[in-house]
Chains A and B, each alone.
Chain A
């Protein structure tokens, strides 16, 4: 069940994510060469404001995007009633946002601040 507002939000967040996904994929391909290593990853990201902004934006966009997306599927495929859809959308949004921001905090700022 999409109104124009939700539709626009979903498309705009998708547009924001597109370059971020490409960047992320590139880093991943680079990173997995020689195996994944926590120290190597953290070494690259920790303390970097740029990486923080990069992943911060990613998380905000994806939380919005996926919450709307799951809402649509919950409605069309599982027939959830409209009264549960809005709380569900918010729940997924908040869950993804908080988990995501915590992860971003963990890999970028935690070492610097804590």
Chain B
């Protein structure tokens, strides 16, 4: 198989908030460098940053402080976050939002006096979420995309990264192997610095929110390249995903959190408002609590026709709902549901992946030349991500990566040569299904999603996790026997379905192993057999690493570099929460 070769100075994988910001900042830091942006989909039109609804957390004074934002992030992450990363996230978010408004051209919603409007998002002690209606991500990504498209940056669209290719000694990264999806050919791009910003994405669950192009390729590549991954058991579920049947891609997509905030009620099949059976805050409890409440109802079989529960808004007055949530009402209507006057079936849905590659607060990894930012990087959120911290994280660290790479390449003289055996192995790996007899791929994806949902999902037990691990091993074996027609490799979605499944299976195994190793319940990770959170002072996080054919999980002590459990950065006179005061 012929491989096209191509050289660049800085290579960026992914065009979400992290990838686009990296491209911009790299160009600003090193204007003469050759910068290449490679994406699995179209630039700016793939990934999840575009799908951000709620908004962007940033402390902009008026009583709020970076310290307060930081404490919310640490508390939300149940003391597992890498504190230096969390601090930098909160601090730089302030500069980033100014940059987005003043330089990139985003226009966020204003108060009637012309200042930025900030709204409440669950789990925070200040109304600090900047937004553009309920379509914040489109505004951020469209504006970033324009800026990037207008600059002299090389674009490799519909180029799927399939392997990180190290140098012979394995210490540094030489470049990245791609499939040019439009032709089906291979392309190897050498670069002095590579940013991986492929955005994680827990799409191995039966119900999931992320965009279809996200299938954990980045983390699977990193794992194969020998990098350490942390917090891999931490999968965030959003409680209210649309449930419209297994045959539609709409199933799993998010019905926004604001619905419950505004008074939306969750009912089971008997019309019972069940959330108060599980938590005093009822329907307004946090994401993880509500997800578990719904999951418990599903187990008791109090379910709607498609196997979920209902969200009901009609008691708030259909017209009121229509004016308050026009986007959601229209979206449901397009799918055939009446959110304003009727009730809509919902189910918890896998939303965000807190786990990721171990990096420092400058996005550097253990491998020279490889940088990771955005949802692919672990550490900033710990065991749970606050709503509104996801896009702040990807834009902050994408920008950091751009600057750091722009500086680092000044001292890297030459491009590094690849280990050709790894290159060949990666090509062979991708070609594997083409030599098998063609079969359908989708049924196996469904099996994977069922296995992960049933046994490695919202609530976990050792028995379930072990059952899940066994199912995954079987799935893995079967996957290697599935074949894809090699008649025409150009835009061959079925081939990519197979490759997607390959990455998802690898990472699913890692999630399962980490979940089994973590014998407590923190944030998004809930073990029915270990329901306690454990002592905060001795908190550890999991680190996964490739070990032969399997994965090895170790526990690392959390370093409380800025604040220790029981302490706070807030002054004695500062109230615990300022929600609703600004």
User: CB–CB under 8 A between A and B in the complex?
Assistant: no
Q: Which residues of A line the B interface, CB within 8 A?
A: none
